[in-house]
Each structure stands twice: as structure tokens, then as C-alpha cells.
Structure 1
Amino acid sequence: MDSPGLVVKVPAASPGVWLMAARPKTLISGTVPFLVATALAHRHGVSNLLPAVLTFVCAMLIQVGINLANDYYDFVRGADTAERLGPPRVTANGLISPGQVRAGAWGCFGLALALSGGLSVWGGWTVVALAAVSVLIGFAYTGGPFPLGYHGLGDVFVFLLFGFTWVAWGYYGQTGMLEETVWWAAIPVGASATALLVVNNLRDIGTDEKAGKRTLAVRFGARMARAQYTALVALTLVSPVVMWVLGLAGPWVLLALLSLPVAFRPLRLMLTRSGAELNAALGATARFQLVFGVLFSLGLVVGS
């Protein structure tokens, strides 16, 4: 019995099905914060890759746990149905039982917290606290009595998690300190990650409304979602310029602006398409996020 009134029996899932459940394409959102954090650490004379790698592994476990938790809770709450327009979910399609998916999520969360204990050697218990906050945010996105994603708060918490929390976590884990540049560098990272969520929310506006999932797109409509996406892409691209103007980074940080052409395709898709056609915008936005993250990180390192 996986939830009240729900019994689902499925055969043991293959590794390939578990890989599908982990949604590896989404892991770009978790990779970019640690690229930027490591670039900042190198910029300030710290080149300790062991805590960087350990923190990154912890973050990937947490993000996979978030993906599994979303798969489970969206199914249980009725948001994932036969009408779903996005990539297939393993629970809704009967590929893995709900109980197994839920156990997988908590297994990833637990392993990440255990590994974060080892990071305390470099960053003290602050890094463990940041890992715990990440797990809490990830679980609360679709789980618990007040799921954030169902009340229009998902955008805020994605920005906080993939932006401020993980850039700070990655930097603090390597250096044992925080400084002003970290918070400014986290802004475009969080903005680009949130843009991905907005694509999902716009695509699923119809099915989310039926399921009672009150995302910002459902609350304020498709026009607002498109404007929000445009603003997030603009914020991503403007942030390096602001950092340069404020003297927080050298002119090499403007390398990030070379990602502008990569942003054109997802912007066009978001402004002109709807429904399942927006799946192409997901991949295009992820490419923009990755290209921007690499160029931004490179600019921070070269300009150090």
C-alpha cells in the first residue's frame, strides 16, 4: 500500500528505467551552480577539488531525490495523468511502483546528508546545514502538507535553491567563508534555473489547473508566464554586466554575453508556442543555461 486507496504492483524496474526516473537532462541546473562556485573559489586563490567534487556529488543526489519526489507526489496528488504533455513519468506510467520511487527519493536525500558530514572537515557544520536546507526545500516543493509548487511558490524556491543556496554551498565548502561576489554570481544562476521551471509551468498550465496545482502560470496566465521567462533570461544576461560595472569582476566576465545567441531559440519558442510544443523549449533553455554557466565561470577564472 503506497498511499491511501492506492495499490500499484509493477515488476522490478531496470537500471534504464531508474535512469529515466532520475531525469539526467535536468541535472544541468545543479551542475552550473558548482561550476560558478568553483570558479569563484579559484578566483580567490582556493583550488581544493576534493570538497568541490564531494559537494557536487551531494547536490546531484539531492537533485535526483527531488526529481523522484516530484514524480511520486505529482502522481499521488493527481497532477500527472494520461493528459500529461511533458516527458513520461515513471510512477504515472506504472514503470516503478510509487513506494519504490518514494524510497528512492529518501535514499538519495539520506545519502547526500551522510556525505555532507564529510564536507564538515573543510567547511564545518555550515555545509551540513546547507545540505539539510536543500533537502527540506526539495521535499517541500511537491511534498508535505503545503507543497510549494502547488501554491505558486515554486519559482521563488527554485531561485533560492539553485541560485543562492547552492552557489554559497559550493563556495563555502571549498573556502570556509562567504563574500559579496558569491551573492551577485548566484543571481544569474538562479534566474536561468527558474526559467526552466517557467517553461514547464507554461506547458502544463491546463493540466495543472485541473489538478489544483496553482503555479504562477495558472494564477496569472500564459502572458505573464512568457513575460516572466523573458525577464529571467534578461536578468541572467544583465547580471555579469552589473558585476563588471560594480567592480566585482573583471571585463572577462562579459564572456557570458556570448551565450546571447543561444537564448534566441527558446525565447522564440516560449513567445510563439504552447502545450507539448514547449518540450523543445525545455531542451533549448537547458542549453542556454549550460553555455551561459560555462562562459560565466570561465570569465570569472580568467579575470582573476
Structure 2
Amino acid sequence: MAATLSQWVAAARLRTLPMAVAPVVVGSAAAHALDQFRPGRALLALVVALALQIGVNYANDYSDGIRGTDDARVGPFRLTASRLVPAKTVKHAAFACFGVAAVAGLALVALSGTWWLLIVGVASIVAAWYYTGGKKPYGYMGLGEVFVFVFFGLVAVLGTTYTQALAVNGLAWAGAVGCGLISTALLMANNIRDIPTDRDVDKMTLAARIGDGPARASYVAMLAVAVVLPLLFTGAHPWLWLVLAAGAVAVKPCLTVLHAHVRAALIPVLKATGIVGVVYAAAFALGVAL
């Protein structure tokens, strides 16, 4: 029995894709603030971000699957652990996504003339694979959150802004840190849910290392800081107060993370955090545009 198309889509973890879209929207808004918004380059940046995110998800599915990490977990469907798809097929799917990201990234740096960003692109793909891949995956050492913050926050937002405007501003930095923190919060929620099973297989994520209580508190703190940072720029962009809407949307998942005792109850938090990211990016962009 082979995996269905819907199962492949499920394994791509669509709930995480807003975390790829949000940085491009925020980075493009920052470029607009510099009067340098370029839709074509923004679209290429979006392709890079989405392909990398799906590639990371498939790579994680493959690496955790062959290690047995996903054999007794609570969470979305996994291709490798289900044994419905050969592990090497999932691996090839991950690298196909990385290939798409590489092609789109090459086109982006060619259009913008920012050839030095090729180094950043290669680093992004290497980091994506070794998150759970290789002999010593850094995701098993509590460094996964660092990868997410840097590459799905700082690199994604600042890279989007720079390839359009050839400069970055304070607004871009605020958005980059904010997007990075929201993406990291999503990963933290996922890892809080998996603390017991991760520890059983010696996967010491940051949540597993610092413990259940501190991990839950850090989720709330990350979202709070993300919402506050753009408000520092309301003097020049008064409509950035709209970002508080993301704070309002974040209340429910924060309460769930703080009080849910059944691990499965944390699964909807992933989707909810993704929605926070979407609202954050939309409010940020609208605040700058207005």
C-alpha cells in the first residue's frame, strides 16, 4: 500500500507554511517603506521560502523516521514512520524541494546582483538538512530553535528586503526578529508536545532540555516580544498599532500552551500559531502601507 496524495500533503505540514510566507510579506513591507518594493523579486523569495520549509519538513520526516523517533509520537502523519513510502523516496522529495529553492534563489540573486547571498543560500540548505539529518543533527542538541530563528526570521526577512532595496532598515530588523520569534514559538509548541517521546529516544530539543514549565512560558514570551517590537516604529508608521491584532489572536494558543495537560491538546496550537504569523505579517504590511 502506497501513500496517497493527501498523505504526502499532510507530511508537508501545511500548518507550518505560514511561517514561510510571513517573512516574505514583512520583508517586502520593509522594502516598501524604503520605496523599493519589487513584486517579481518578492515572488521569487516566496518560492525560496516555501520550498525550503517543505524541504525541511520532508527531511525531518525522513531523518526522524529512520531513527525511530516518530515510532511512538503524538502528531501529524509521517511518511517514513508509516512505512507507506520508502525512506529514500522521502529523502529524494526533500532534496527536490531544496533544488527548487536553489533555482529560485539563483534567479533572485541574479536579478538583484547580490551574488554574495549565494553563500547564505547554501548555508540555508545545509542547515535545513542537518537539522535532523547526518550523524549529529543539531536539532537533537537543542539548537533547532536557533536555526528557525536565524533562517526563518533574520535571513528570510532581511534577505527579502535586501534583494529588493539593496539596504535594510530598523523596521526590517524588528520584523525579522518578530517573524523569527513566532516561527520559533511554533517549533517550541511542537516540541513541548513531544517532550516525553523525544527524551525516550535521546532527542534533546530545547523544550526537552529546559523542561515543560519553562518551555511553555518561553512560548508566550516569544509571541509577546514579537508583537511589541513593531510598535517601536509607530511614530513613523502609526498604523503599525494594527499588529496588536496578532496579540489578540495569540491569547487563545498561549492559554492552551500554559494550561493543557493532555499532549494531544497542543496539536491545534501549531495551526493557531501559524494564524498568528499570518495576522502579524498582514497587519505589519498594512501598517506600513497605510
* TM-score grouping bracket, smaller chain normalisation: over 0.9
Q: Structure 1: which 5+ runs fail to align?
A: 1-9
CA distance in structure 2 between the aligned counterparts of 1:181 and 1:47, rounded to whole angstroms: 14
* Counterpart position of 1:300: 288
Shift of 1:135: 1.1
* Kept in 2: contact 1:259–1:291 (CA 8 A): yes
| Equivalent residue letter for 2:251 | F
Instruction: Check the 8 A contact 1:123/1:172 in 2, yes or no.
Output: no
Q: Does 1:221 align with 2:208?
A: no
One-letter code aligned to 1:87: P
Query: Aligned pair 1:291/2:283, yes or no?
Result: no
Q: Partner letter of residue 28 of structure 1? A: P
| 1:22-47: CA deviation from partner (whole Å, max 9, x where unpaired) | 22221000000000011111121123
**Is the CA contact 1:22–1:68 (under 8 Å) kept in the aligned structure 2?**
yes
Q: 1:103 aligns with which of 92, 99, 119?
A: 92
* Structure 1 segment 254-293 matched on structure 2, within 5 A: 254-274=241-261, 275-293=263-281
Aligned to 2:239: 252
Match of 1:129 in 2: 119
Distance in 2 separating the partners of 1:293 and 1:112: 22
1:145-197 residue CA offsets vs partner (Å, 9 max, x unmatched): 32121001111111111110100111122223333332222111111111101
Measured in 1, the distance between the counterparts of 2:255 and 2:145 equals 21
2:153, 2:178 within 8 Å by CA — same for their partners in 1? Answer: yes
Q: Residues 192-211 of structure 1: matches in 2 within 5 Å?
A: 192-211=182-201
Question: C-alpha separation between the residues in 2 aligned to 1:148 and 1:57?
Answer: 26
Separation in 2 of the partners of 1:85 and 1:17? 16
Alignment partner of 1:95: what SS?
coil
Note the C-alpha offset of 1:220. 1.8
Shift of 1:111: 2.3
Distance in 2, matches of 1:39 and 1:179, equals 11
2:271 maps to amino acid: G
Amino acid paired to 2:26: V
Q: Do the aligned residues in 2 keep the contact of 1:127 with 1:173 (CA within 8 Å)?
A: no
Give the 5 Å matches for 1:144-163. 144-163=134-153
Q: Which residue of 2 aligns with 1:67?
A: 57
Q: CA deviation at 1:294?
A: 0.9
- Conserved in 2, the CA contact under 8 Å of 1:85 and 1:204? yes
Provide the C-alpha distance between the structure 2 equivalents of 1:121 and 1:258, rounded to a whole number of angstroms. Answer: 35
Determine which of 83, 86, 90 is the counterpart of 1:94: 83
Number of residue pairs the alignment of both structures matches: 288
3-state SS of paired residue (1:70): helix
- Contact 1:237–1:257 (CA<8 Å) still a contact in 2? yes
Work out the CA distance in 1 between the residues paired with 2:10 and 2:267. Answer: 16
Partner SS, residue 226 of structure 1: helix
The match for 1:6 is none
CA apart distance, 1:240: 1.4
Equivalent residues of 1:34, 1:166 under 8 A apart: yes
1:245-281 superposed Cα distances (whole Å, 9 cap, x missing partner): xx5x422111101222211110110011131111122
Aligned equivalents of 1:124, 1:156: Cα separation in 2: 25
Letter in 2 for 1:222: D
Superposition TM-score, scaled by structure 2 size: 0.94
Distance in 2, matches of 1:238 and 1:179, equals 17
Distance (whole Å) between structure 1 residues aligned to residue 174 and residue 113 of structure 2: 21
TM-score by length of 1: 0.90
Provide the rounded CA distance (Å) in 2 between the counterparts of 1:150 and 1:291.
31
- 65, 69, 92: which one aligns with 1:79: 69
Alignment check: 8 A CA contact 2:26 2:157 kept: yes
Deviations 1:41-98 (A, max 9, x none): 11211232111101111211111110000000011122101x2111111111123211
